[in-house]
Amino acid sequence: MNHNFTCPYCWENVDVQLEFSVSETYIQDCEVCCNPIEIQTEWSRDVLTYFNVNPIGQ
Ligand SMILES: [Zn+2]
């Protein structure tokens, strides 16, 4: 599923493709500024209950 968030580096709205109902933490590059972002997701069955993004290092 598509999820929209604000990049912590460039503050652009970015779409990310989430694995449906899979709770995970992974790193993905921002498609606008190419900086690495840690993405955390938590699901309760098929409902996304938590979504967070963190900038990785510098
Ligand atoms: Zn960005």
Inform me whether the pLDDT recorded for 58 exceeds 90.
Answer: no
Domain that holds residue 12: 2-55
pLDDT category at 57 given cuts 50, 70, 90 is: confident
Q: How far is ligand 1, taken at its centre, from the CA of residue 23, in Å?
A: 23
Q: Is the dihedral of CA 50, 51, 54, 56 positive or negative?
A: positive
Residue 38's φ and ψ, nearest 5 degrees, are -85, 125
Q: How far is ligand 1, taken at its centre, from the CA of residue 13, in Å?
A: 8
Q: How far is ligand 1, taken at its centre, from the CA of residue 39, in Å?
A: 13
pLDDT category at 21 given cuts 50, 70, 90 is: very high
Q: How far is ligand 1, taken at its centre, from the CA of residue 27, in Å?
A: 13
What integer pLDDT is reported at residue 6 of this predicted model?
97
Kindly report, residue by residue over 31-48, the tens digit of the pLDDT. Answer: 999 999 999 999 999 999
| Domain count of the fold of the chain | 1
